[in-house]
Amino acid sequence: MGEFTDKLKGATNEAIGNVKQAVGKGTDNHDLAAEGHAQEAKGEMQHAKGDVKGGVKNVVDKI
């Protein structure tokens, strides 16, 4: 996947994770809140992966 795709998927997972956390907390569903936290963390890692790809591409382009 490319930089943009990783960042987009990361942002999507972060947003969905935040919603799951809020719904889980609001309904006192600890499993859903934990699932949301895990999905948010996954999204953060995907976004970071996109950042790294972008940084590598910038370095390679300068060579």
pLDDT digit string, tens, across residues 4-44: 999 999 999 999 999 999 999 999 999 999 999 999 999 99
Nearest to 2 by CA among 44, 62, 46, 59: 46
Taking 80 as the threshold, does the pLDDT of residue 46 lie above it?
yes
Global pTM reads 0.82
Q: Amino acid letter at 60?
A: V
* Residue with tokens 């936290």, as numbered in its chain: 37
Instruction: Give the 3-state secondary structure of residue 16.
Output: helix
DSSP class of residue 54 equals H
Taking 70 as the threshold, does the pLDDT of residue 59 lie above it?
yes
Q: Amino acid letter at 1?
A: M
Q: Calculate the alpha carbon distances from 4 to 7, 10, 21 in Å.
A: 5, 10, 26
Q: Which residue has the higher pLDDT, 2 or 44?
A: 44
